[in-house]
Chains A and B, each alone.
Chain A
Amino acid sequence: MMTDKSPTDKAPTGQALTDQTIRNKHNSAPLVQVNGLSWVVDGQRLLDDISFSINEGEFVGIIGPNGAGKSSLMRCLYRVNRPSEGSVYCAGDDVWKLSAKESARRTAVILQETSEQMGLSVEQVVSQGLTPHKKLFELDTEADRTLINKLITELELESLRTHSFATLSGGEKQRVMLARAMLQRPRLLIMDEPTNHLDVHFQIEVLRKVKKLPITVLASFHDLNLAAAFCDRLIVMDKGKLVAHGSPSEVISETLISEVFRTCCVVDKHPLYDHPRVSYAVHE
């Protein structure tokens, strides 16, 4: 059984990070620290010796082809996949030595797919975000209701408040999940392909909202242009290994995309913004 943190569970302060550690822009200790993480299933190393860190307030993207291990890596961070080797620290504590509730108070997750929630309304799904903060029998307080109302207003969900979650469009569902995640009051928000199933308008709208949040974000992407546009830094994965990391301009190159994604492309500067743009060679 997981227990609450003990003094010995603290992250190894001053420990030299490996070469794969992403550069630390800030002087403070990183919020997330992944050290030599491997995940082995049935003798297969699905994640192999991964190390990186994320500073408070950063928006970090994980990119890589299908089966690269992006989702598996994120699952190790929010306590679904227990690492076979190595460790994951969040806010100074080994997440696998925290209680499930304490971990959920620090890390919120927005998954690609959510069940239809058997008739729950938008407001009820949002209020699920209170779960890690409440004890048995503890009811919602006035302060909770105020915060729920504020998030529903901020994410433009007022007209949908009593609608069944199952009847919403993909973009609306994603906004509901974002409101729920914010109600968790986490320090880290993990998003598994947040723009999956969304049209261009909602892809940009959801990521703009996330970008404005005063929070650390780790998100996986398939769309390299969106990743380049919104992320401060990128982690590139292939076959369970971390193969590159750095700012979008440092990471996204024709060579890397050709090697990792086995796709020819042209990388130039975006005509409107200061980040790279990828144009794929789609015709043979």
Chain B
Amino acid sequence: MNSSVYAVSSASAKGVGRLLLFIALALVSMVFAISFGAAAISFQDVWSVLSPFSTQDIEPLKERIILELRAPRAVLAFLAGAGLSLAGAVLQTVTRNPLSDPYLFGISSGASFGAVLVIAAAGSFSIWGVNIGITAGAFVGSALSVLLVVSMVGNGAQIERMLLAGVAVSFMFGAATSLVLYLSDPLAASSLLFWTLGSFTRASWPNLILPALIIVACLVIFLAYSRSLRAVLAGDENARALGVSVGRLRMGMLLLSSLLTATLVANCGGIGFVGLMIPHIVRRLLAQKQENIFIYTALLGGVFMVWVDVLARTLSDNAELPIGVITAAIGSVFFLLVLYKKDSRKGYQ
């Protein structure tokens, strides 16, 4: 075996090892997260309920808390982090803009507006525990925002027009959401805040099926097109010269990101900064591993959100903190630190 072939095999083995490490981190994070909360439940308790090999008996109440409340909540937190990070990563790639995320394109604002309007106007109804009204409202809102962005962008799918249209649509739906909140009575307004600040309190197993299916489907599609997406990083004209239909690819990815975001906003409300921050961290950690960047982004985003949810449940003794507040706080500090470090390095040069 010559040295270059050996190097490739060794790199592949390292890649598999790294992937397994990230998967293990995700699983361990979720099991640990389940053990945090108001009721005292230990890691061993969680393990004995979830592990098929455990023979230890556990109180029925604890078992119900783990299986019906905390486990679906941890899984929803993981799915939300994974999905929003994936949406951010793919939007940043197709626009070659490191500041792109579902918020910048108005997708989150549209989805939040749709959900808030449904709650304020009609409440919601459930089928097998799924809030159909809110989900539908979020979908319609995000679809409307995408439709507005796309109608202003035209056939060429130029990045600059797309971003400007996205920002305008985002502000428009943000203003509309604020107006609905302002006009609602105080009791309704407090429940409406759920959608603008984000929470995993409505997690239930039936609620997880749709987001899980959509996230897995989108991840598979992103992986299928990862070569074309990498080509887009070279610029539109370069990508076209490499045989990529850039306009169609960009539009398709925008629609998939909208689908991801709408599904998650419908279940968890508006959670910002994750789609922006996690792809940045993954690119910094794994700059040379672009081939599987979407898998790592989903895994790290999921792990991040699981721990954000733990913080939301444990930071305050009296009440849960909104998820969106914590992600925004961490995200803004992260970006300030990144900028500070970049400036320091420039100073040394």
Binding site for B on A (CB under 8 A): 75, 78-80, 99-105, 107-109, 111, 113-115, 117-121, 124-125, 128-132, 134, 136-138, 142, 145-146, 149, 162, 164, 184
Most A CB within 10 A of own CB, among B8, B227, B244: B227
* Closest chain A CB from B224 CB (angstroms): 4
B96–A115 CB distance below 8 A: yes
Question: Are A132 and B243 in contact (CB-based, < 8 A)?
Answer: yes
* Complex alpha-carbon distance, A136 and B220, angstroms: 11
Q: Which of A99, A100, A109 interacts with B238 by CB under 8 Å? A: A109
Report yes or no: B231 in contact with A131, Cβ–Cβ below 8 A.
Answer: yes
Could you tell me if A146 and B4 are in contact, using CB atoms closer than 8 angstroms? yes
Of residues 229 through 253 on chain B, the ones whose CB sits less than 8 Å from some CB of chain A are 230-231, 233-235, 237-238, 240-245
A99 to B, closest residue via Cβ = B243
Q: Mostly helix, strand, loop or mixed at chain B's interface?
A: helix
User: Which interface residue of A99, A137, A184 has the most chain B CB atoms within 10 A?
Assistant: A137
**A109–B93 alpha-carbon span in the complex (Å):** 22
B164 within 8 A of A: no
Residues of A within 8 A of B4 (CB): 145-146, 149
Q: Say yes or no: B8 contacts A104, CB within 8 Å.
A: no
Contact A115 B234, beta carbon cutoff 8 Å:
yes
The interface residues of chain B lying within 8 Å CB-to-CB of A184 are 242
Q: Is B223 an interface residue (CB 8 A)?
A: yes
CA distance A105 to B244 in the complex (A): 12
Distance between Cα atoms of A104 and B227 in the complex (Å): 14
Chain A residue contacts of B98, Cβ below 8 A: 118
Question: Nearest Cβ distance between residue A119 and chain B, in whole angstroms?
Answer: 5
A128 touches B224 (CB 8 A): no
Contact check, A131 vs B243: say whether CB atoms are below 8 A apart: yes
Structural contact, A80 and B234, CB atoms closer than 8 A:
no
Q: Is the CB of A120 within 8 A of B290?
A: yes
Q: In the bound complex, how far is the Cα of B92 from the Cα of A100, in angstroms?
A: 24
**10 CB < 8 A contacts A-B:** A101-B243, A105-B243, A115-B238, A118-B92, A118-B98, A119-B287, A128-B231, A130-B227, A131-B227, A142-B8
